[in-house]
Amino acid sequence: MSAIEDVIRAQAQPDQPLATFRALDAAFQAQPGHILFTVLLHHPKQQQNERFYSNLPDAYPVGGRKPVTDHPWMKQVIGAGRPYIGRTKADIQYVFFDHELIWSLGCESVLNMPVRWAGETLGTLNLLHRAGHYTEADLPHVQTLAALALPALLVLTRS
C-alpha cells in the first residue's frame, strides 16, 4: 500500500506531472522492477506517441516521438488498450525499431501498460528489464499504479 500512498502524496506536489511520474518510477522500481521506465503520451490527431518521462534521459530523452502505425503491437496497446508483455530479445525486436539501443541497456523484456479514459488511450507506461522478467502476475499491480497516472495524462493531453 505504501507505493500507492507515495504516488498519491506526489500528486499533491506542485511540480506536476513530473512529481507523479517520479513517484511512479520509484514504485515500479520497487515492484515489479525495471531498468528503463518511460511515459509516452498518445497524440491521436498527429498519429504519434511522445516520450514525456524517462528514467534514462541520456538514452531515451524526453520529447522523442514515434509514429503510430498499424503494427499489431500498436493495435493491441494503443487501439484496444490491452497491455503487452514481451519476454525475449525477439519480442523486443518484433515491436521496437530501436531494439539495438534497448538491448544495449540490458533490456530484453517489456511490459507496456496503456492508461485509458472514456475508451481512449491517453498514453502508456513502459517498463523494460532483463529477459523473462515480466509475467501476467505483474499486471494487477502495474495496472493499479498506472491508474494513478491518469490525472497527469489527462492534464497533458488536454493542454
What's the average model confidence in pLDDT over 137-145? Answer: 97
Percent of the chain scored above 70 by pLDDT? Answer: 99
Rounded to the nearest integer, the mean pLDDT of the chain is 96
Distance separating alpha carbons of residues 118 and 133, to the nearest angstrom: 31
Give 28's pLDDT tier (boundaries 50, 70, 90).
Answer: very high
Q: What is the mean pLDDT of residues 119-146?
A: 97
Is 36 in contact with 56 (CB distance < 8 Å)?
yes
Which pTM does this prediction carry? 0.95
Please tell me the distance from the alpha carbon of residue 19 to that of residue 26, in angstroms, as a whole number: 11
Cell representation of residue 60: 531515451
Per-residue pLDDT for 87 more than 90? yes
CATH code, residues 2-158? 3.30.450.40
Dihedral (CA of 144, 156, 16, 29) sign? positive
Q: Give the mean pLDDT of 143-147.
A: 97
Q: Is the pLDDT of residue 1 over 90?
A: no
pLDDT of residue 159: 72
Report yes or no: 25 and 37 within 8 Å, Cβ to Cβ.
yes
Calpha distance 143→136 (Å, rounded): 11
Locus of grid cell 544495449: 104
pLDDT of the residue at 61: 94
φ and ψ at 90, to 5 degrees? -65, -40
Q: Where are the domains of the chain?
A: 2-158
